Structure 1
């Protein structure tokens, strides 16, 4: 059945869904309405003004004419749009993070419970072949019961720096990287383990970016929007409407999020996670290791090797000086290590984007990996970041309620 989709939030991330509904997934539905605070950005995705457009105050009118809503707005606004759509009986597809704080989680949980509309959180990394291979291996029992997870994520000075140019640099908009970015990673661990967090302790700080950061004067961190026609059209040409500056100086005042984070998490199954996120590494990728009662599983991924750019003109640009790679090994007790072959996917998030879109628009079918994420998954991942942020500021551990849907301290 072809569905009528509306989209709220017409920034960079909207392109994934616009292209999907105009391309390989056009048989599943049609984009019939757009909503944004900025009409220039809506025009970019609406050549010939074919679709009706709505401002935020007209959002209820848009809901009346659609079957499902795609939410790609600033993170702090997600809860408002998600709850309004659910209460109107409209299904929701929302970009991670589901929301940015505990009140937003509570509002969404209440809206989801009182209505019949469905909510999907788009965790692309669940669909990356390397990450699904980890899930399969853990479920097979090769390393026994998992007791400890060590997870290090590196954002390089192209990708990582970009969070400090955009609206993400303000905690009130993004919840900080422990929410906006780490929600991906916390969700992966929750999903890999089939468990949920029960206690969080963290340390975090702003060490590299901002006016007093160690990176001041250290390299080419400027961004020229004119070098990318799409960024220019979406942001520079739209600035006159709302004053939003997409290319802020990463070392200018106003940054209040962290760039260096370390987190300890205890799970309901008594396993423990040691996690770190650094937003100014010379390369991009991650390492995760699972120690179990029968052995150990390790995944190492280089998503982008060290890059040389012409004054970092484009946050997605760069000339890689060595190949990216992914390496998955399993070693059972008293046996040699075995390298597991991974079939690499094409496209974004290690091939995960196409699989995610197929799941979102065609349905998950009989997926033994349970990759499609719902509102509970979204809340568990958001609250892990919220708890970590709270702990880093208080110096105290933060506990989850018994159902994992709220915090108790």
Structure 2
């Protein structure tokens, strides 16, 4: 498979390295990046191009990685489709309602099978086990869901320092980080949200909570950020939230509460799916998933 990369950031480098390890026959034929990028990870240097169009014209790849910053995705997906290339796009695919409709028009024109989305949580063991329990009728008709995603301070600080700190670039914290979870529960209920109420803000990464000069602040710089990066997560020009709560009613009648916080030392990513026959609960961080029968209490 011949792959070209649009957006050579840390995520693209990581994924490309995995491809080379698991599929050594993969050939990376070129990359284009609008900012400062590097292909130093590769044993064989990857050709760099000055524009996406030049790269696609010269390399004729089988697949295009769209791993540029979120707000650029739509333009890069459009260009790839116009060149007849299948797309593998990083999540979130787009960042605004207007971009969503524009993407829908592109998919209607070129075919939805031309774009693959990197919502990798769908393929985890926990989700596979959860889907099996649903298919086997162990949970029954879903009544309600309780879910949360709490990330550790080192990771939350990364978002506050990185380009993702700006809504105009990332689409917001819930879209950037929690789209995996929200996609999962759409899949679990088999329906879309009908009504949503949501509120949140920034409560932790504020100037008044910054470490004193003599305090150890290394935890806030563990995760590297590059493009448009700032050094201090407590004094930044970003506008994303660090905590948010959402209440969702689905078209199926099921309801969900979801909460996220990006400054939680005891990191976890929990879910509890409750139905007429039983419940499934688990944690992606702690690595468990169990089903309990509503009538007998057996697991």
Q: Structure 2-normalised TM-score?
A: 0.90
Match of 1:216 in 2: 210
Match of 1:170 in 2: 166
Whether the 8 Å contact between 2:12 and 2:67 is mirrored in structure 1 is yes
Match of 1:205 in 2: 201
Q: How does 1:86-165 map to 2 (within 5 A)?
A: 86-116=81-111, 118-165=114-161
Give a deviation string over 1:4-35, Cα, whole Å, max 9, x none: 210011111012332134222123x3110100
TM-superposed deviation, 1:37: 2.0
Which residue of 45, 52, 57 maps to 1:59?
Answer: 52
TM-superposed deviation, 1:261: 0.3
TM-superposed deviation, 1:170: 0.8
Separation (CA, whole Å) in 1 of partners of 2:52 and 2:41: 18
| SS of corresponding position for 2:38 | helix
1:30 aligns with 2:30: no
Q: Structure 1 residues 247 and 255 mapped into 2: Cα distance closer, same or farther (>3 Å)? A: closer
* Greater RCO structure (CA 8 Å; 6+ sep): 1
Whether the 8 Å contact between 2:200 and 2:243 is mirrored in structure 1 is yes
| SS of corresponding position for 2:106 | helix
Match of 1:19 in 2: 17
Match of 2:257 in 1: 274
TM-superposed deviation, 1:168: 0.8
1:84 aligns with 2:107: no
TM-superposed deviation, 1:272: 0.9
Whether the 8 Å contact between 1:157 and 1:283 is mirrored in structure 2 is no
TM-superposed deviation, 1:327: 3.0
Match of 1:260 in 2: 243
Match of 1:395 in 2: none
Q: How does 1:222-371 map to 2 (within 5 A)?
A: 222=218, 235=226, 244-301=227-284, 303=285, 325-338=286-299
Alpha-carbon RMSD: 2.3
TM-superposed deviation, 1:282: 1.2
Separation (CA, whole Å) in 2 of partners of 1:156 and 1:263: 20
Question: Which one is further off, 196-205 or 215-224?
Answer: 215-224
**Structure 1: stretches of 5+ with no match in the other structure:** 236-243, 304-324, 339-409
Give a deviation string over 1:298-343, Cα, whole Å, max 9, x none: 1134x3xxxxxxxxxxxxxxxxxxxxx33322222221241xxxxx
Which residue of 185, 188, 201 maps to 2:181?
Answer: 185
Separation (CA, whole Å) in 2 of partners of 1:221 and 1:109: 44
Whether the 8 Å contact between 1:78 and 1:99 is mirrored in structure 2 is yes
Separation (CA, whole Å) in 2 of partners of 1:192 and 1:220: 42
**Structure 2: stretches of 5+ with no match in the other structure:** none
Match of 1:393 in 2: none
Separation (CA, whole Å) in 1 of partners of 2:19 and 2:281: 37
Q: Structure 1-normalised TM-score?
A: 0.67
Give a deviation string over 1:13-72, Cα, whole Å, max 9, x none: 012332134222123x31101000235x23424566x432123xx211212222210011
Separation (CA, whole Å) in 2 of partners of 1:30 and 1:194: 37
Separation (CA, whole Å) in 1 of partners of 2:152 and 2:15: 26
